[in-house]
């Protein structure tokens, strides 16, 4: 059987075409840099996390609308806009940013000779095990493997390690204590607090259903505010208030003087503020350091005296990493994305990107 030269060329061309098409049709990876692939599963995982964030933003932006309904699935979510973009575009953008940070973090970690040690890997593995155990069905429904979850968790841990190295003590971008303390003082709330619950118990321990007595207890607590504002110690004021309250309730005065640790302090982080009653937070935030106020909230009578949060050095040290992140973390994440887009030759698999659309995400 004779095979002409033209037939051989046509056959070779056909084989090359099939190979090229097969390569183009490969949607197992979304991005690639220097032979290192960012798997499609990791891309979908980033989309899924972005969708969760998008729901929170949509709720925050629309909660005050009377006819607002919380989006319960992808179809409902994609009818909204998020930060000026369609929800679908916003989700894809966040997934793209996650991939860019993935590559930039590895390049920068090598630049600063940072190793992902055994301890860090162990913590990351434990975290991956935890969320995989909680949401395995959801992940697998969306085509996300445990390896993809681990890949992004590891990237996030490396990012945090890189951030702490640069912005922490001794780092080339070290954030000053003055800046951290200014943020701590501006956003975190710290106070002495004493609370009694209504209705009050009587001399025999039974509950006194007496509104007049409750009003008297309220007036009594409010009457002790000037003493605090005049500089009396909180413990002394509370001791005297409790004696007066026992007289009001008709209880025999047999209470021994309390120790200082029987009074309480309250520490409120910025993200906890929405979970407190609005009036309580409004009064708390309006107080200057050392000043006191009385608040009645539901069945509670509250005596509150604001303290300087900076006097609590232990809490400042505990929250130092969080304060650092509040000041510079978002900016640093954006910097890494910009670096990857400008300086790294990252290949994008358009077929994978177009195939794995937010509309295909299963949120529950």
Q: What is the pLDDT of residues 127-172, one digit of tens each?
A: 999 999 999 999 999 999 999 999 999 999 999 999 999 999 999 9
182-313 belongs to which CATH class? alpha beta
* pLDDT band, very low/low/confident/very high, at 264 (cuts 50, 70, 90): confident
Cα 249 from Cα 200, distance rounded (Å): 8
What is the average per-residue pLDDT within 191-198? 91
Cα 121 from Cα 175, distance rounded (Å): 27
Instruction: Specify the pLDDT at position 204.
Output: 64
Instruction: Specify the pLDDT at position 308.
Output: 96
Structure-model confidence comparison of residues 18 and 73, the more confident one? 73
- Please, what sign has the CA dihedral across residues 97, 99, 100, 102? positive
Cα 288 from Cα 268, distance rounded (Å): 15
Instruction: Specify the pLDDT at position 263.
Output: 58
- Judge whether residue 260 has pLDDT over 90: no
* pLDDT band, very low/low/confident/very high, at 258 (cuts 50, 70, 90): very low
Mean pLDDT score of the chain: 89
Instruction: Specify the pLDDT at position 249.
Output: 76
* pLDDT band, very low/low/confident/very high, at 3 (cuts 50, 70, 90): very low
What is the average per-residue pLDDT within 270-280? 92
Instruction: Specify the pLDDT at position 259.
Output: 42
Contact 145, 41 (CB under 8 A): yes
- Judge whether residue 180 has pLDDT over 60: yes
Contact 95, 46 (CB under 8 A): yes
- Judge whether residue 205 has pLDDT over 90: no
- Judge whether residue 21 has pLDDT over 50: no
Q: Which two tokens stand for residue 337?
A: 């994305």
- Judge whether residue 5 has pLDDT over 60: no
Extents of the domains making up the chain: 5-176+319-360, 182-313
∠ Cα 305 308 312 (to 5°):
115
* pLDDT band, very low/low/confident/very high, at 8 (cuts 50, 70, 90): very low
What is the average per-residue pLDDT within 330-343? 98
Q: What is the pLDDT of residues 282-329, one digit of tens each?
A: 999 999 999 999 999 988 999 999 999 999 999 999 999 999 999 999
* pLDDT band, very low/low/confident/very high, at 254 (cuts 50, 70, 90): low
Instruction: Specify the pLDDT at position 253.
Output: 54
Residues in Cβ contact with 290 at an 8 Å cutoff, skipping those fewer than 6 apart: 229, 231, 305, 306, 307
* pLDDT band, very low/low/confident/very high, at 118 (cuts 50, 70, 90): confident
How many CB atoms lie under 10 A from the CB of residue 218?
15
Q: Residues of the chain with pLDDT > 90: what percent? A: 75
Give the H/E segment covering residue 307: none
- Judge whether residue 17 has pLDDT over 60: no
Cα 186 from Cα 162, distance rounded (Å): 27
C-alpha dist (Å) from residue 212 to 202, 205, 282, 290, 345: 14, 18, 27, 31, 76
**Phi/psi of residue 39, each to 5°?**
-60, 155
């Amino acid at each position: 059987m004779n095979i002409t030269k033209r037939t051989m060329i046509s056959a070779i061309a056909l084989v090359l075409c099939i190979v090229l098409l097969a390569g183009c049709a490969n949607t197992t990876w979304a991005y690639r840099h220097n032979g290192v692939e960012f798997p499609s599963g990791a891309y979908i995982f980033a989309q899924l996390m972005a969708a969760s964030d998008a729901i929170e933003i949509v709720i925050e932006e629309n909660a005050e609308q009377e006819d607002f309904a919380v989006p319960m699935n992808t179809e409902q979510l994609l009818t909204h806009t998020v930060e000026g973009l369609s929800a679908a575009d916003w989700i894809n953008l966040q997934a793209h940013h996650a991939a860019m940070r993935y590559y930039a973090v590895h390049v920068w970690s090598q630049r600063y000779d940072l190793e992902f040690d055994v301890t860090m890997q162990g913590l990351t593995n434990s975290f991956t095990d935890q969320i995989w155990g909680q949401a395995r069905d959801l992940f697998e429904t969306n085509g996300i493997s445990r390896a993809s979850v681990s890949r992004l968790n590891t990237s996030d841990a490396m990012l945090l390690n890189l951030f702490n190295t640069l912005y922490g003590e001794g780092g080339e971008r070290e954030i000053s204590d003055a800046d951290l303390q200014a943020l701590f003082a501006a956003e975190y709330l710290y106070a002495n607090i004493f609370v009694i619950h209504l209705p009050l118990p009587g001399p025999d321990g039974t509950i006194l259903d007496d509104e007049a007595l409750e009003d008297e207890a309220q007036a009594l607590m409010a009457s002790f505010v000037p003493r605090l504002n005049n500089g009396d110690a909180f413990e002394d004021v509370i001791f005297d208030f409790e004696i007066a309250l026992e007289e009001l309730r008709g209880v025999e005065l047999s209470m021994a003087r309390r120790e200082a640790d029987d009074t309480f302090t309250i520490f409120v982080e910025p993200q906890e503020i929405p979970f407190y009653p609005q009036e309580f937070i409004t009064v708390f935030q309006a107080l200057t350091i050392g000043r006191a106020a009385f608040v009645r909230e539901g069945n509670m009578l509250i005596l509150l005296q604001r303290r300087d949060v900076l006097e609590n050095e232990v809490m400042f040290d505990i929250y130092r990493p969080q304060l650092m992140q509040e000041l510079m973390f978002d900016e640093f994440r954006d910097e890494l994305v910009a670096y990857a887009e400008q300086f790294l030759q990252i290949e994008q698999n358009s077929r994978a990107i177009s195939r794995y659309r937010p509309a295909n995400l299963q949120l529950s």
